[in-house]
Each structure stands twice: as structure tokens, then as C-alpha cells.
Structure 1
């Protein structure tokens, strides 16, 4: 019986992975320009981190985490999201004491959630995320939003829209919370069990329910924007003002609720806007959080961040026909004929690779024609032909596969010649 890949996971093969690498490098370059540095945290953490950091009323904690006990009877969980791990590292490594603040970080790696697999929703998925921790300035909110929009814009994906909301500060949320309880309580028995359980614990999460989204009370629920105190309203106004000055378009949606408990003030999503994207239109989500660092044992520290799924981004790019998978090109393929030439080709390959040139050769004892076909399949820019005659004369024939030009080069000068052609001698 053959062993198959677990449901909700995928293999990324040569021919596909190049697109992933291209997107990840583009995202990293944008982060570099915004002065965000990479952080890598463990793939599994203590379960308590996510129960405290993400929130025990969230779908993630209640039903989606991959949790297990290790041999020391410690409860561990494969990370379902990236922010909690970054915040844990921020506290544990005392990054709040660093001279350069705010601490601006990005991460890229696999996350795990036990969900029903479907297009754009995997049980193991790759998430790219950004966190700016240590500043309560609305300008950093606008910076993070600009960074997120740049990710899509620079890949050519313009059919997206930025959706904004404010969840307010603690005072605003408390007022809104009571209004939501008063609104839903008389008819709460018409809602699902999850919503009934959340009524007193976290009624804001009712607005994020997928089962009851069509219930009439959802549309008439009190808006958080009507309960923002003066400070929260001014904060949200300043974020929008900066976005206006940056020329970044957005829509305010007072029903937008992020699925994690630690969000305050600015919350946002980037949505696919147009045909061809399929049922899942949320490409990116994030917001400002207050209390997360303190919950994990650190000082009172605000933060803001976002994360997006690489899988969903690729789906959106393909839906719009914007990106073909980049093809890995080989700089040089060495065609060797005869035993002595084959032995020499191994030496030449090693020298080419040391010089920074991607190179390969035939390992299946194929004829010359078949070797040239292999060079074509690999997209070789140059083919170097070494036979017994060339070897005895200390020569090698180099053919430019793009122009068709062919030159005979002294074997001793071959590496330098190729270096000049491929890297400009650098």
C-alpha cells in the first residue's frame, strides 16, 4: 500500500516552487525598504501561548489547533498563526529594551489549522506576516497598511481593496460590548451554540460568525463606530488622513471584525475585488493589538501587524493571469563525449559552480543529440561541448543557445570566459 500526502497539505515541486520563491523574495525586498527585519520562531509552541495570546473564544483555539503532548507530558501546539510567537519572542528576548524602536519584524513560514480543506484553505499553509511593536502612533498603522498594499501592487494585483474599521480602545469596546449583548440577548436562542456561548464572553465575535451571517439581527447590530470615544475616533481619523495623503484608497466597513481577541483600534482586510477570484476573497488581514505583550509577561506595549497566505496570493495572481511560474534557467550544460571527456567534465562543472555559474552535465551516458535535448529542457544559456579531439587539443566548443553563436575556447581559459559571459567577470 502506497503512502499518500496528508489531507490538506501539498507538495511544491520544481516548476512550481520558483513562483513561491519569486513572491517571497519580492515580499522580503519590500520589507527591507520599509526597514523590517526577519524573525524565525519555532513551528510548535506551548499550547498556553495560543490560548492566552489568540483567545480561548476564537475558532482557532476552540477547534482548529493541532495540539499534542510530548514525552514530558507538556502540551504543545503547531503554530496556527504567527503573531503570538513573535510577541512571545519579543518578551522573552527583551526586545522592548533595544535602542531602535518600534521593533519592526517580518516572518515567513508554515502554519497549521485543522480546517475542511478547500481551494485557498489548507491545513498546512504558508503565511507571510509583519509586526511593528512598540509604537502607538497612528502613522505606524498607515505605514503597515501601505506596506501590505505594496505587496499586492508591486506584483501587479490591482483588483484589490483595503477595508478598514476601528474596534476602539478598552472603554469604547466595553460600551459597544454591552450594546451588543442588549441587542442579541432577546433572540440569542435563534443563533448557533457558539454564538450563544460567546454572548457574555465576547459578543463581538458573534459578528464574525459564518453560520448566522444572514440572520436579520446581524445587519442591525450596533456599530462600533457609534461607540468610539473621542480619543478612539480621533485615532481612526488620523490613520485615514495619512492614508489619504499617501493616495491609498480604502473603504470603511463598521461590520469588519477580525477573528482574534487581541485586536484594538485599527482592523483591516485586503479583499479581492473583481471576477475570477473564487469564493474566498479575503487575501490579507490584520490590525492593531493592545494587551498581547502584557498577557505574555511583558510591559504595556502596543503593536500592529498583518499576515497573508502565499497560497491565496498565488490563486489571485493566477486568476488574473498576472504571473507565470518563473522557469529556472541553467547557465551552462557540458556535453561530454568519451570517457576521458566525461571525467574532465566533472572537474569543469566543479570549477564553474565555484565561479558562481549554474552548470550541469549528463549522467545517463546519452548520445550527443540526447544531451543537447537535455540542455534545451533545462533552459541552458550556453552549451559547452567536450569530445576526445577537443580534449587532446586542449580546446572546448562553447555555443550560445540563444544566438546560435559558437566559439572554440582554450580549455585553460574556459572558466574565465564563461565567467565573463555569465557574471561579467564579477
Structure 2
């Protein structure tokens, strides 16, 4: 009569350490010199017990110890089993089968094996049509069986506890499926420091250079603020100018497509001689009737934050395809690009057209002339002062 034991206790959670590990990552051994089983089945053969035990399962990754069972399809999954009792040579008769779970999981390669070790890779059957939703995980059921006189011992590793992708590998799998140039390792995957930098389908992002997205945002933001506060104090405050028509504050350097744009509001009886735009002076400031310079240059009370105007930053490959990007190797999928829509900012003296040009120039100064440009949608390039422009794209 067969006595078949199920899984021993609660199976390990997804991504678990399967079997106790030493500090070096090798399986620890019990008193008999063998690792404790993950699952086992026992039966009586010829008056004696025979036990089939699954001892460990792990994903083989370069340069790492093997405590994880999540995977991408370019990585090997390894499982080990042993036989206790019975005739010598039974371990050579262990038969392995690997079955995909769900339509998203393709066949395992190989799907069967014999002996004490199973080594296989999964395959992906996921569509590459673009989506706003996260992909389901690839997952597999691994079964080891041993045929003996009078019956068969069988033990399983179900996907809910073992061979099932975690979120980081679900994301990484998209890059494998799309065949992108950038293939992120686990060290490239993290939670974004700012939630606004994640425009993907997951709670995590992949960056070719970890931390680069936030650094790019901060660098562009600092340059925008510099451009918005670069007016020149021609005549010191409180000093008499040569005449009422003398310039006491002049605009900074020219901005793309628009020329010089002043950023200072006149004080006292000083006079703005530029256009009045969005409630502010967009030109030079003169001394006015008393010929005294009353206006300090760049007297802006607040600094501009660009975080609120991010329309896109990191995008996973499926999301990138969904929005209509023209390339699978988009800088957005590599964590190296920002889309910014400055039209929602309210800055005295600046309308949406001027702000678009200021942000594009800031991007050029930070990332280079070929890495900052204005667009409508994902593929239409426009001048920054074109009324149809809806964002500035800046990339490393």
C-alpha cells in the first residue's frame, strides 16, 4: 500500500530561497549530508520504504548565488531530486516533466528529462502588440516521478510557490520579447524616486543608468530656473541713470525662436518697454521719470518645479508600443528620456509658446542640441514656438 506525502508544510513563497543556504550560496546539508527536501513521496517496495524527494530549485544567474526561482527566458531553471532506499541506480530513472501554466507561457525547453537534475528554459507566448496593462507572469509546474513495481511516486513544484515570474522579471521579460538593445539586469530595476517618473505598467522601472532619470529632471529644472533668472542689472538699484529712458535691467540671452525674454517685473516708477505677457514684463526695464533704478534684476519670489509637468518618463516596451512610439529602442524604455509640457506653468511674462522654447533651450544646454526637441505626439517634430507643440522631449 502506497503512502504518498504531499508538500512538506507550507511551500516557499515566490522568489524564495529553496532549501537553506550557506553564506556562499551553496545548499546546506542536514545530518545525513543531504539538503532537506522541498517535497517528497514515499512508498513501500519489496518490504522496504523508497522516498522520492525534490531537494532544491533555483534560477541560474551569472555572478549570483542561486536563491531565486523567478526568471526570464534567457536564464536556466535548475531542479534537483534524490531517491532514498531501494536499489542502487533508481535515481537514474527519475523522470521530469515541465508544463506551462496559462496561454502566456510557452513550452519549456526541454519539457522532459531524466536523472537527478532538471535544467530548462521557459519560452514566452506573450503578444507584442502594445498594452497599458501589466503582462501576466510566465509560470511552470515541475513534476518528478519514479516508476516502481506496484506504483509510481510523484512530487510537484507548483508555480504559485516556485517557477513563477516576479514583477521585476515580468518587466525584464518584455525587453527579451521585444529584442531591445538594452536588456536590463536586476540591478537596473528599481522603484522610481519620484512616482511621476514612472509612466509604465508596473510599480518599478528599468534604467540603463540607475538614477539617471531623476538626475536629468533636476538638471533641466536647474537650467530652466537659471534661464528664467538671467536678466542683467545694468544700473545698480538706488543709483541715478543717465536719463529716464536708460535701461536699468536688460533681458538675458536670446531664447530659441523668440529672442531675448525679460524675466523681471519693474519696481517704483521704472517702466517695462517690452511686451506685457501673462501679467509680466517680457522685455527691458527703463529708469522712468525719476531716472533712479528702482528694480532689482531677477526678483522672482518662487522657483519653478518641473515635476508637475512631466507627461512621460520611463515606459516599459509594451506601453511604449501602445502609445505609438516609432522605435523599440526608445530612450523612454531605457530610463533616459523625459517629456515635459510647460504650457500648464503660470509664470509672469511667459506664455505657453515662450515656456516651450525656454524648456527646449534648457534641455539643449543640459543634454546637447540633438537631445532636446519639441514634438506633437510621439513622432511629429515641431518648432518650439509652433502652436501645435504639446511637449518638449529631453534625453541623455
TM-score (norm 1): 0.24
Q: Which has the higher strand share?
A: 2
Q: Which has the higher helix share?
A: 1
Instruction: Select the structure of larger CA radius of gyration.
Output: 2
